[in-house]
Amino acid sequence: MLAIDKIHLELPFYGKRKIQLELRTYGLSASCSRIRRLMRKMGLEAIYRKPRTSIVQPGNHIYPYLLKDLRIDRPNQVWATDITYLPMTKGFSYLVAIIDLYSRRVMSWQLSNTMDVSFCKEALEEAIERYGPPEIFNSDQGSQFTSNSFTGILKSHSIKISMDGKRRWIDNVFIERLWRSIKYEEVYLKAYQTMKEARNSINLYFMFYNQKRFHQNLDYLTPDVVYFGKPEDKLAA
């Protein structure tokens, strides 16, 4: 599963057959059916143009995509979220994060050993409590984000709900970059023994990511500086 995760991160457009071939370079062999089963367990899916990019829970309402041609020019204008798989020494876990698209700042995150909606709700409630509600909240059409309990929180704060529609796989590019950063700069370098250890280590990484890590796309500023304002702007105020 660790090898599959690395391959998917590098080559997200690879399906089970190409991953099967790529695994051979790791000295591993597996049938296509096993790879398909493990990818489902990990919540991974090849990225390419197709009618559906997420498994939608029957009965859950799908909201329109609101970000097309939208100029994102301020903090708390648009937040986005996603879930990723994290390998551990024994077993695995799932990480959900919410980011501010303007500043790339990680607003909140939660770790869980299941894909249940509860840890996604905890991350959303924490972010809103600490930073106030955004104008728009964007996600994919996964069952966690389309559930009434999750969208109900957004509605209660008058937040506009946006969901990636058909053939809109590119919309998650910013949070996919976050996953790449945390996995290569943190997760793959360590072997978490327990959930507590994972939480503590990931918390330190996200503090570094927000406060000290320079981002080329932010003109080599940190997410905190962009989100809260440049030092010179604070002095002027």
Q: What tens digit of pLDDT does each residue of 49-89 get? A: 433 334 455 557 889 999 988 999 999 999 999 999 999 98
Residue 29 lies in a domain: yes
Residue 232, token pair as written in the block: 């010179």
Residue 50 lies in a domain: no
Q: Is residue 87 domain-shared with residue 177, that is, in the same domain?
A: yes
Per-residue pLDDT of the chain (237 residues; tens, 9 = 90+): 999 999 988 888 888 999 999 999 999 999 999 999 999 888 888 765 433 334 455 557 889 999 988 999 999 999 999 999 999 988 899 999 999 999 999 999 999 999 899 999 999 999 999 999 999 999 988 889 999 999 999 999 999 999 986 545 555 788 888 999 999 999 999 989 999 999 999 999 999 999 999 988 889 999 999 999 865 554 344
Q: Is residue 175 domain-shared with residue 119, that is, in the same domain?
A: yes
Residue 216 lies in a domain: no
Residue 17 lies in a domain: yes
Q: Is residue 12 domain-shared with residue 126, that is, in the same domain?
A: no
Q: Is residue 185 domain-shared with residue 108, that is, in the same domain?
A: yes
75: closest CA among 23, 135, 12? 135
Q: Is residue 115 domain-shared with residue 179, that is, in the same domain?
A: yes
Residue 173 lies in a domain: yes
The pTM of the full predicted model, rounded to 2 decimals, is: 0.81
Domain hosting 34: range is 2-42
Q: Is 43 exposed, middle or buried (0-12, 13-18, 19+ CB in 10 A)?
A: middle
Q: How many structural domains is the chain composed of?
A: 2
pLDDT at 229: 87
Residue 227 lies in a domain: no
Domain containing residue 95: CATH number: 3.30.420.10
Q: Is residue 89 domain-shared with residue 36, that is, in the same domain?
A: no
Residue 218 lies in a domain: no
pLDDT at 54: 44
Q: Is residue 122 domain-shared with residue 11, that is, in the same domain?
A: no
Q: Is residue 115 domain-shared with residue 168, that is, in the same domain?
A: yes
Q: Is residue 22 domain-shared with residue 122, that is, in the same domain?
A: no
pLDDT at 169: 52
Residue 130 lies in a domain: yes
Q: Is residue 109 domain-shared with residue 200, that is, in the same domain?
A: yes
Cα–Cα distance for residue pair 65/140, rounded to 1 Å: 10
Q: Is residue 100 domain-shared with residue 200, that is, in the same domain?
A: yes
Instruction: Categorise residue 114: left if φ over 0, alpha if ψ from -120 to 50, beta otherwise.
Output: beta
